[in-house]
Chains A and B, each alone.
Chain A
Amino acid sequence: MRKIVLAAVLLAAFPAAAPVAAQDSAGGVVRVEKPVTGEQVYGQVCQACHMADAKGATGAGTIPALANNPRLAGAAYPIMVVTGGKGAMPGFSGMLSNAQMAEAITYVRTHFGNNYAKPVTEADVAKLAKPPPAASH
């Protein structure tokens, strides 16, 4: 069953409330259909950088490949990276739910040449996730 939940995701930078210079942004609010399955989360979020084939890419710097990646063997590492971020990659705690992140990690660990069958659960993510940071600026 593919349950699509239409969720109001309010991610506007409210300039009036921002303590310092707000980033240049469109204004208003953004509402997108909430991705639910691991495949949906990967396609609508992770793929923006890691690419549809999960092979990443290299320019002046590198977006690491998730395909055939032995660092995904343990669940803790991807959970830490997805929730807390790493380098240019933002942490997704607060933007995605623990369930969404668990689904995405499970999906990547069982696709793209990775074969780590044990699912990552929402509880696994909750255990390792830091609380989301206060408003960015």
Chain B
Amino acid sequence: MDSGARTPTRRQLLSAIAKVGGTAALYQAMTSLGHAAETQFHGPPNLQGARPGASVIVLGAGLAGMLAAYELTKAGYKVKILEFQNRAGGRNWSLRGGDTYTELGGAAQKVGFAPGNYLNPGPWRIPHHHRTLLHYCKQFGVALEPFIQFNHSGWIHSSQAFGGKPVRFNTAAADFEGNIAELLAKSINAKALDDAVTKEDRERLLEALKGWGMLDNDYKYSASLKAAAHRGFERPGGGGVNGAPIPSKDLSSLHDVLDPQVWTSMAFFMGYEMQTTMFQPVGGMDMIGKAFARQVSDLITYGAKVSKIAQDDKGVTVSFTDVATGKASEAKADWCVCTIPLGILGQLDLQVTDQMMAAIKAVPYSGQVKIGLEMKRRFWEEDDFIYGGHSFTDQEIGLISYPNNNMFKDGPAVLLGAFARDLGAYRLSGMTPEQRIEAALAQGSVIHPGSYRKEFVTGASVAWSRVPWSLGCCARWNEETRKEHYQTLVAMDRRIVLAGEHASYVGCWMEGALLSSIDAITRLHKRALEA
């Protein structure tokens, strides 16, 4: 095909637009060309030309804080980071054998996982459109592997449907779709939709219902090879004498498949953040935090508990104590990027406007619970043919999620035995670590009755409402608080700017923390040059 010497390619055109109008113009142009609407990341901020000697203090060595420190250092600022923990990464975190974790209230867990096994208490999966995080993973050398998000063979369990027995996702989903298709076909054939759908489209819709909805020639969802090809077989096709497949005949009733556990599990995978492809770092989520920390390691002061952030026309003064010795110190800088989670920040002595203080105190946090269970063998693979992905349950644990790595290997493996939220999470959080493991085993045994307790070796749990350095998992905005407080929260308060997932619309995701950080330091740099 002749593209014509004078006709610019799309790439040339976009490149020209970027040169003339900058990345914002490029983004607009790409959007209007039908591209790139999936992210607000337009490349690293590329800040340059800080005033000589200008300094920034960053509070918190999570991803937002470390990215701010990394990019501001490149721009020429003198940067220091204060971190409460003795570890960088923040909520980007993995627990491994030999680690000890002490939660608020004093309960300590010595993690007993075998070498190579881990639990990611915080983030654990990365959507393919989280371009900022993927960009820096590549830049900092973090190896990623697929996270098996969608597994048709996982179990769906509802205490109020299918007699309380788990059913395979593909079976439940096929039966939901088949039942709905049959009803819709019935409406069409009863002429109930004649007013709403043209004759031509009625024919096309009936064809779609037969194909997508697995209906037979009488527009019934019935036991057939067509249905079995979605939901599974009584005897799958094989070779030789008994090669012929036998369709499964135990079709679910409409009543069962209308249990909300079925459609919410199906809809879960339709969510933008939950769509495949997803990724995880090889070796544990904290490989990302560690890679960021390598870039800024000489800037971090660990074990620093901040008590006060003061500011005046000349700069910012942060008061902190050394957690181990109790020694009080001050750190001064021209500017401050503060990534301390809001629940903690709101308890500090802050020299910010009343409106900013009100915004900081207006956002509650969620308290998810994760429980890792090490099993002697991969019974989910060996017995159930489940390789990664999730089983959903309406019990407190929420789900069981299966490891995405080391498939087919012998030896112990850690599965995620709970990702609880809301009332399920509160109940599990209020328990001792031992009680949580017992609850997870009891509830998981409903999904894997024969093997769960038998194969169990050891477990670890993190209840985010009791995490000493965050007092929760994620900031929870609602429409009211967004309207009233969000712009105040993200605006610079003289010399202080906040960053973190809480200062984004991609809350609870690492991507939100990074996008917030880039936006915050870009504005800080502009302000610093204008000052």
Contacts and interface: CB of A to CB of B under 8 A. Distances in A.
A57 B507 contact: no
Contacts of A27: 264-265, 268-269, 274, 390, 392, 398-399
B108 interface: no
B423 A49 contact: no
5 contacts: A26-B392, A48-B429, A49-B367, A52-B105, A60-B468
A27 B424 CA distance: 13
A18 B478 CA distance: 11
Summarize A's interface: helix, strand, loop or mixed: loop
Contacts of B104: 49, 51, 57-59, 63
A51 B463 CA distance: 12
B392 A28 contact: yes
Contacts of A21: 272-273, 505-509, 512
Contacts of A46: 430
Interface string B448-464: 00000000000000010
B159 interface: yes
Interface in A55-74: 57-63
Interface in B416-434: 419-427, 429-430
A11 interface: yes
B106 interface: yes
A28 B271 contact: no
B368 interface: yes
A129 interface: no
Given A31-B159, A57-B104, A26 B343 contact: no
Given A21-B512, A48-B463, A134-B479, A29 B260 contact: yes
Contacts of A5: none
Interface stretch (B23-31, B47-55, B190-198, B358-366): B358-366
B56 interface: no
Interface of B: 84, 104-106, 123-125, 156, 158-160, 260-261, 264-265, 267-274, 305-306, 340-344, 346-347, 361, 364-368, 390, 392-396, 398-399, 419-427, 429-430, 463, 465-472, 474, 476-481, 505-509, 512
B301 to A, nearest CB: 14
Nearest to B125: A24
Contact of A26 (B347, B419, B465): B419
Interface in A64-114: 85-91, 95
A135 B478 contact: yes
Contacts of B430: 43-48, 52
Given A45-B426, A87-B364, 15 more contacts: A15-B267, A22-B273, A24-B125, A28-B264, A28-B394, A29-B158, A29-B394, A30-B423, A43-B430, A45-B427, A52-B105, A57-B105, A57-B106, A63-B104, A90-B365
Contact of A15 (B160, B274, B342, B421): B274
A117 interface: no
B168 to A, nearest CB: 15
Contact of A49 (B340, B429, B507, B509): B429
A128 interface: no
Interface centre among A18, A45, A91, A136 (most CB of B within 10 A): A136
Contact of B268 (A28, A45, A57): A28
A8 interface: yes
A10 interface: yes
Nearest to A134: B479
A133 B478 contact: yes
